[in-house]
Each structure stands twice: as structure tokens, then as C-alpha cells.
Amino acid sequence: MHKALVTVYIDASGHFFLSTVLQINEEEDRLYLDPAQSETMNDRALKAERPVVTAQLDRVKVQFPLPGLESVKDGGNTVLAAPLPQTLLRLQRREFFRLEIPATPILHCQLTIARPDGSPLLEEFRVLDLSGGGVCLAVPERLAPLFVPGTVTGRCRIALPEEGIIGASLRVCSAVPYEANRGAPMLRVGCEFSGLPGAQLSLLQRYIMRRERQESRHRAG
């Protein structure tokens, strides 16, 4: 099987680490994961009563709880193991069409988010996909502690070509590893709009419909 990139959430305080599903052994009822790079994080993971694993599958968020993790040896390497999950949750919003944004031309989102000390940080991120309900951003992995699911950001600003500017706060719904073509490790951060005005929602939907028509003509041609 191909190795799958996942995020392991350890506890309610928001501690998490990026990992890889190394193997699924149905005969042994075992799931094997890469350990965290930090020994402190590994210790927390081994003590966690109910860690939660999340991943992105065909742009659909998948998550499942584990009854606990243990450290085992696999071919001389130390890995994390757990019983296979009994339940799996697929989270997919269907009330809005989601438009995937190509690498060129890049669509950017300017966003203010709070640092751990509470001071504001203004950054610009590439938009990976967009819908009337939210936006998915490419975020450098070094900023992962600022994008824990449930976090509410300051106001974002997205300039839509030929339409105008939309702005709203964002609520982080998911953060999973994202394989960029090159450069530093990235996260694919899914966010939900909070407080997007109705007029801007109409503008956004008009932009999405226009882009989708253009893509349809391109595919047909």
C-alpha cells in the first residue's frame, strides 16, 4: 500500500504531530504509524487515552479515534502501533460546490492570525480550493501550531479577479500534510467562513460559476 500522510491529535489541549500510516495489518488487527520527531510528543502520544487521527482523502476529511498507542519495534525501527479503529468519520460539506484553484495564476488569501503570545501575525497564503462555505489554504508546516482545528482567525482578504474582494473570519476545520512540488513542508488547512456578508457570498458564487464554466469549456475544447 502507499504510505498515507496523517495528523495525530493527542489531547484536548491541541497537541498534535504529523505522521505516516506505515502499514495496516488486518490479520493482526494492527495499525502502524511513524512516531513524532519529538520525544516529548511521543511520550504524550503514548499516554493519551484516545488520540484522534485525521487525513484528507480525495479532498474529503476522514478522522477516526484510536483506543491508545504503544511503542513497538519493526525491522529495527521504533514505530507506534494501535488496534484498527472501529469507526471512521467522513466529513464533507455538500451545500456548496468546491472549486479547485490551479497553480497558475495563483489566488492568494491575506490572513491575520494570533501568535501564541496573542500578537497578530499577517501572512499571505496560496488558495488551494474555494467554495461558498470556506477556503483551503497551503500553509507552511512551521505555522502548524497557529492552525489547530477550532481556531478562529482574524479577518481574511481574498481578491477575486474580475469580481472584487471578499473578507471574513475563518474557523480552522482541518490541517493535514500537503505534498507541494518543492520547498518547505506544507499543510493543507481547511477553513470555514465566519461572518461572510451575503453580498460577498453572491460575488464569490458568481466567481466560482464563471471559473467552472471556463474550465468546462477548456476540458471540452
Write out pLDDT tens, residues 112-121: 999 888 899 9
Higher pLDDT, 218 or 154: 154
Q: What cell numbers appear for 187 in the block?
A: 499543510
Return the pLDDT at 94: 47
CATH number, domain with residue 66: 2.30.110.10
Return the pLDDT at 159: 94
Q: Under 8 Å CB-to-CB from 163, ≥6 apart: which residues?
A: 203, 204, 206, 207, 210
200 and 119, same domain (yes or no) = yes
Give long-range contacts, CB 8 A cutoff, 24+ apart: 47-51.
48/10, 48/11, 51/8, 51/9, 51/10, 51/11, 51/82
155 and 210, same domain (yes or no) = yes
Are 186 and 141 a contacting pair, CB within 8 Å? yes
pLDDT reading at 170 higher than 90: yes
**Domain containing 59: what range?**
4-91
pTM over 0.95: no
